[in-house]
Structure 1
């Protein structure tokens, strides 16, 4: 064999020597990628779920939930009446009744307005010498005494400042201000009640703590007025209703 004919043969051997490892490496990478995607399982296996099967299963789930919905709607109709309009009308009527009883609606009628305020300085700009700071301000017990007297006289609706007093209202004194349903007020404090004016005046006159407050009015200059009206306006309660119930903390011992 001559050198001229041996060169091409050597070139073909060199291409095979380097080409085979490259092809094997590429095949190995392809196999590794396929294994990673399939998670070790067969990609084209016959047991793999088909798209049509997934759609069919989803449709069955929808049908089942729709049946449950229809059953619940039927149960609601059986409870409140077959007509949704009738059921809604009944619920709204019941809600209106409860709203009036709960004090959510504004009302008006004959009533009484009571105003309490802190003591004022005299003409010389002074307070009584023997007065303490507590003697010169309206306290929580004074406001509660007025409210209790009004309720005991059968007041139909009571308002303090610009808020309706309901079963969950609790006026509290914080320093020289009043806290009611998260809002603070400074004196004068105004209480408005609708009801029998004569009965409410009598209840205020007979209440021991109100009588004590009136003595402080004379002695230290606190403010107190009562004003009757033939058509007094009382607002409805507009704050969110948060009902809380007492729960036992543990076994009761006797």
Structure 2
């Protein structure tokens, strides 16, 4: 019996020593290799933002060098400048309207009679809500649109996973802000006329989803700073 007890203590000592030697004074359970997926996503989003900013700076340097003597005529330069503005790669200044969407309070209840108590799905912003606002603003003659801090271009895709926005490689949480440069009156009329937004407004009035439209006056939207290369699948040869 004594021999068995001694063997158990010896084995326990060996396990403790091995654990200590592996941890090297750290907590194994919180080792950096066990980061949650959400932490990894946020880290990748931060790196993508840094790469976008670096890309924008390098693009500016290249354009400055090209402008010094690229052999083009004045008419060609003006045409290129116009194309860049329409493509969204240059800054855009003008009167703007901002739409802010936000989740409802988690303890929200139906504010109007005749409506069911909310399901969790009723209380969060969805992809179609953001897309409805962006589409309405384009319909209202927006000259340029910014979602959060990023300019939209023709290949931009507004996508959500749950109630988290993924835009051009970066991740955002509500409240979501969408800013459009254009005629404020026409932009707000287009928002009011949108059938999808009218449906969203029912949830605003009944369950308390966030909705705010502001006339911002003169605003400067940033130019798109990401890559413009298209990525697509190719058939196997």
Q: Is the 8 A contact 2:126 2:162 kept in 1?
A: no
Q: 2 CA distance for matches of 1:242 and 1:112?
A: 30
Partner of 1:202: 189
Superposed counterparts of 1:36-185, under 5 Å: 85=69, 87-88=71-72, 93-121=78-106, 126-128=107-109, 130-185=117-172
Residue 100 of structure 1 and its aligned partner are, at CA, apart by 1.1
State the structure with more CA Rg. 1
Residue 212 of structure 1 and its aligned partner are, at CA, apart by 0.8
Alignment partner of 1:221 out of 195, 204, 208: 208
Long gaps (5+) in structure 1:
1-83, 250-254
Name the TM-score, length of structure 1 as normaliser: 0.59
Residue 176 of structure 1 and its aligned partner are, at CA, apart by 1.9
Residue 201 of structure 1 and its aligned partner are, at CA, apart by 0.7
Residue 88 of structure 1 and its aligned partner are, at CA, apart by 4.3
Name the TM-score, length of structure 2 as normaliser: 0.63
Long gaps (5+) in structure 2:
1-67, 111-116
Superposed counterparts of 1:233-244, under 5 Å: 233-243=220-230
SS at match of 1:209: helix
Moved over 3 A (4+): 88-95, 244-247
Q: Which has the higher contact order (CA 8 A, sep 6+)?
A: 2
Q: 1 CA distance for matches of 2:232 and 2:72?
A: 29
Residue 98 of structure 1 and its aligned partner are, at CA, apart by 2.0
Deviations 1:164-212 (A, max 9, x none): 0110000100122001001110000000001111111111111011011
Q: Is the 8 A contact 1:112 1:232 kept in 2?
A: no
SS at match of 1:143: helix
Q: Is the 8 A contact 1:161 1:191 kept in 2?
A: yes
RMSD over aligned CA atoms reads 2.3
